Amino acid sequence: MKKNKLIFVLLLLCSITVVSSVGTFFYVKLNNNHTAAEDDILVMTSCNPVYIATLNVLDGVDGYRVENLSQPTTGCLHDYTLTTEDMKKLSKADMLIVNGGGMEGYLEDVMEAYPNLQIVDTYEDIEHSNGFIGMDTYLIKEEEKEHDHEEEKESLPLEGKVAAELTDEVSNEVSDEHEHHHDHGANSHIWMDDRLFKCQVTSIANALMEPNRNREETPISKNFLEYSNKLENEIDKQGLDKTLAGSNVAILHEAFAYTAQSLGANVVATMDLDEERQVSAGEVSEFLDAIRDNNVAIVFAEYDYGKSMGDLIEEQTDAKVVYLETLVHGSYDASSYITVQNSNFSKIRDIL
Amino acid sequence: MFSEMFSYAFMVRATIAILLISPLFGMVGTMIVQKRMAYFSDALGHSALTGIAAGVIMGIANTTISMIIFGICFALLLNYISRKGLSSSDTLISVFASCATALGLAILSRGGSFSNYSAILVGDILSITVAEIVQLIALFAVILVFWCISINRLTAISIHATLAKSRSISVRVMEDAFAVLIALLVMLSIKWVGILLINALLILPAASSRNISENFREYTYFSIVFSVFSGVCGLFVSYFTDMATGPMIVIIASVIYFATYIYGKK
Ligand SMILES: [Zn+2]
Ligand SMILES: [Zn+2]
């Protein structure tokens, strides 16, 4: 009896070991399809917008490999933790480019685990070189803006100057109406404003050019100029920046605060919906009131989490709800930033 | 293949953590199953949320401390309730647990920011730090000492209720000490096991072992073996397949449970 039991346990554990090893082996076999050169510089990116930007900057440049960390299939990036696969990749990476501004909640763990990994934080970069800071709805760091501005601009290689002027312009528009406090938990979905996205591209290009900071043309600087021009010329706001300028909008996802900003619209009501978000009845009625009181004509929402609230808004108010993409989910290729933005703008125009 | 795996510092840390904590789960689990305290440990796990919330409110940066303090208080409270011998103590415990969970959720979701804490639901063993491993080693030592000193008395209590009652004072101390230990174990491991699964890891190995054991010695040994095996096997499978570690461990522990269940029925 006693012997039988021991044999049973041994057999059980052995068969589980065998089954799980075999299963794992085939799983790995089926999923293993990377065949990149080992000595390439491995640049990891934390999210789609930064990934797209990096792909464009490094397009066709030899000696680099760009990989995106795995992306959430639902919810937003800031709820996300890294998988084992990600940690493995990071241990081999030479550089990690992140959106920053609190978007990557796991960043501290990564820094602790890989103290030698170079991390490029686009948000911080833009904030420090341009005096811009992300919004609650757009907050400005007044002190930095006033002081060492000119010299900062000088020290930026490439089109950092342009970027700096751009953010100046953006920040001047709003600087008087908002108090300034520095909050890193603020809205970090900056890529949704194409002008700030361009600053992100600049920051990435600068980081990648670091080894040869002189101004001679390199494949990277060429790519950078090309992509900047593309962003400048191919993003088509379809006159929305004139139609919506100064008008009031409401948003159901923080990210669209930057969409609104890029169109010059004022965000008068925000409700940030995602999967774990519980909305109270009071909040909903307050939100609906804000829409009515401010004559909001259009509400920007994300379909997955905003649809039911969107239906309610359309039923209870005169506002129209348009469902836009945030670029957070799914997989994208190098051209998709422009296509997604343009399709967002078309959707907005169609509904107006 | 394995040498590559251990070239990652985080995998080495995770493996050490598993080797430390899984035998404890196996050991403590036997007593939890024996004393029918599954409700208790589940409630404790959920109270971790409230502990974090309390820490956040009081502005304590290290929420592990507030979690542990709250967990210990909660464990003693639950013990007090069940000691009252009310027929409905199971219900009472789950009411307390739900209330604590709701309170924690309500506080942590202020301003819609629960997302910052959602990692605690699933846990993340790969993020374990050296300092946390040191804590686990200390806990390992404490539980081992407690176990050696008091296992006989604890078993006696769980088997002979009347005998236990006759020595009520020392029994009470013993039970409270045990509850505090469970609280410590749960709170220190919840960060990487996750609230949703921690109870499964406590219960499954012991329950599996119970299916096939005839005496206490076997019961404890098999439980520890099952626990360590599920832990290590789950970690390795999750490493190679890139799936979350906690769920993988629970899946393997469940397979063992079903197999032993069938074997025990024969
Ligand atoms: Zn979220
Ligand atoms: Zn987000």
SS (H, E, C) chain A: CHHHHHHHHHHHHHHHHHHHHHHHHHHHHHHCCCCCCCCCEEEEECCHHHHHHHHHHCCCCCCEEEEECCCCCCCCHHHCCCCHHHHHHHHHCCEEEECCCCCCCCHHHHHHHCCCCEEEEHHHHHHHHHCEECECCCEECHHHHHCCHHHHHHHCCCCHHHHHHHHHHHHHHHCCCCCCCCCCCCECCHHHCHHHHHHHHHHHHHHHHHHHCCCCCCHHHHHHHHHHHHHHHHCCCCCHHHHCCCCEEEECCCCHHHHHHHCCCEEEEECCCCCCCCCCHHHHHHHHHHHHHCCCCEEEECHHHHHHHHHHHHHHCCCEEEECCCCCCCCCCCCHHHHHHHHHHHHHHHHC
What average pLDDT does range A259-279 have in this prediction? Answer: 83
3-state secondary structure of B185: helix
Question: Which token pair is B43?
Answer: 């409630």
Per-residue pLDDT at A183: 37
* Domain boundary, last residue among A200, A232, A264: A232
Domain of B94, CATH number, reads 1.10.3470.10
For the ranges A155-169, B56-70, B142-156, B234-248, the lowest mean pLDDT is seen at A155-169
Whether residue A202 is found in the same domain as residue A290: no
State the burial class of residue B154 (Cβ atoms within 10 Å of its Cβ: 0-12, 13-18, 19+): buried
Say what the pLDDT of residue A141 is: 35
Phi then psi dihedrals of residue A269, to 5 deg: -150, 135
Q: Are residues A252 and A341 in the same domain?
A: yes
pLDDT at A56: 94
**Which residues from A are below 8 Å from B252, CB to CB?**
16, 20
Domain final residue, candidates A205, A232, A259: A232
Query: Where in the sequence is the domain holding B213, given as residue range(s)?
Result: 1-265
| Chain-chain contact of B255 with A16 (C-beta, under 8 angstroms) | yes
Residue A106 to residue B127, Cβ atoms within 8 A: yes
Q: Note whether B256 contacts A78, CB cutoff 8 Å.
A: no
Reading the block at residue A272, the tokens are 């940030």
Domain count along chain B:
1
In a domain, A217, yes or no: yes
CB contact under 8 A, A87 and B124: no
Report the run of H or E that residue B245 belongs to, with start and end.
Answer: helix B245-265
Indicate the range of A17-31, A108-122, A173-187 predicted with least confidence: A173-187
- Listed range (A191-195, A264-268, B105-109, B177-181) with the worst mean pLDDT: B105-109
Is the per-residue pLDDT at A254 higher than 90? no
Same domain, yes or no: A82 and A225: yes
Ligand 2 geometric centre to CA of A256 (Å) = 10
First to last CA, chain B: 40
> A284 and A220 share a domain?
no
Question: Over chain B, what is the mean pLDDT?
Answer: 82
Q: What is the DSSP letter of B115?
A: G
> Are residue A197 and residue A60 in the same domain, yes or no?
yes
Residue A103 pLDDT: 83
Does the residue A253 lie in any domain?
yes
Residue A220 has pLDDT above 50, yes or no: yes
Could you identify the residue written with the tokens 């068969």? A15
Q: A213 and A260: one domain?
A: no
A126 and A214 both lie in a single domain: yes
A107: in domain: yes
CA A114 to chain centre: 23
Q: What's the confidence (pLDDT) of residue A212?
A: 59
Which token pair is B68? 């542990």
- A139-140/A132-133 β-pairing: antiparallel
In a domain, A270, yes or no: yes
pLDDT tens-digit profile of B189-226? 887 788 878 888 889 999 999 988 888 888 889 999 99
For residue A28, tell me if it sits in a domain: no
| Residue A227 pLDDT greater than 90, yes or no | yes
pLDDT for residue A322: 95
Quick one: CA torsion of A340, A49, B118, B8, rounded to 10 degrees? Answer: 140
Q: Side-chain half-sphere of B264: how many Cα atoms within 13 Å?
A: 14
Average of per-residue pLDDT values in chain A? 78
Q: Are A247 and A297 found together in one domain?
A: yes
Residue A221 and residue A160: Cα distance in Å, rounded?
12
Q: Determine how β-strand A298-301 pairs with β-strand A139-140.
A: unpaired
CA distance B11 to chain A (A): 9
Residue of B nearest to A103 (CA): B116
The reply to whether A198 and A287 lie within a common domain is no
Q: Which of helix, strand or coil describes residue B98? A: helix
Kindly determine whether residue B127 and residue A81, on different chains, have CB atoms separated by under 8 Å: yes
Pick from B51-55, B91-95, B116-120, B250-254 the range whose average pLDDT is largest: B250-254
> Nearest-CA residue of chain B relative to A272?
B112
Which one of the ligands is nearest to A253 CA?
A: 2
Question: B245 to chain A: which residues are within 8 Å by CB?
Answer: 84
Query: What six digits make up the tokens of B46?
Result: 């959920």
Confidence grade of residue A33 (pLDDT, cut at 50, 70, 90): low
How far away, in angstroms, is A304 Cα from ligand 1 center? 12
Residues A203 and A292 in one domain: no
* Lowest mean pLDDT across A158-167, B69-78, B185-194, B234-243: A158-167
Strand-strand pairing, A95-98 and A41-45:
parallel
Both tokens assigned to B40: 């208790």
- In angstroms, rounded to a whole number, what is the distance separating the alpha carbons of residues A26 and B21? 30
Check which CATH number belongs to the domain holding A335 and give it: 3.40.50.1980
Query: Do the chains contact at B240 and A76, CB–CB below 8 Å?
Result: no
Asked whether residue A217 falls in the same domain as residue A301, the answer is no
Q: Are B12 and B43 contacting, i.e. CB atoms less than 8 angstroms apart?
A: no
Which residue range is the domain that position A110 belongs to? Answer: 41-136+186-232
Residues A71 and A204 in one domain: yes
pLDDT tens-place string over residues A190-206: 999 999 999 999 999 98
Chain B hits for A16, CB-CB cut-off 8 Å, are: 229, 233, 252, 255-256
Q: State which of A199, A215, A232 marks the end of a domain.
A: A232
**Which ligand gives the minimal distance to the CA of B118?**
1
Evaluate if residue A150 carries a pLDDT over 80. Answer: no
What per-residue confidence (pLDDT) applies to A145?
Answer: 37
Cross-strand partners of A270:
A251
Q: Which residues of B touch A274 (CB under 8 A)?
A: 112, 115
Contacts of B242 in chain A (CB under 8 A): 31, 83-85
- What one-letter code names the amino acid at B41? S
Proximal ligand: closest to the CA of B109: 1
Q: Averaged over A132-153, what is the pLDDT?
A: 39
Q: Is residue A210 part of a domain?
A: yes
Considering its fold, how many domains does chain A have in total? 2
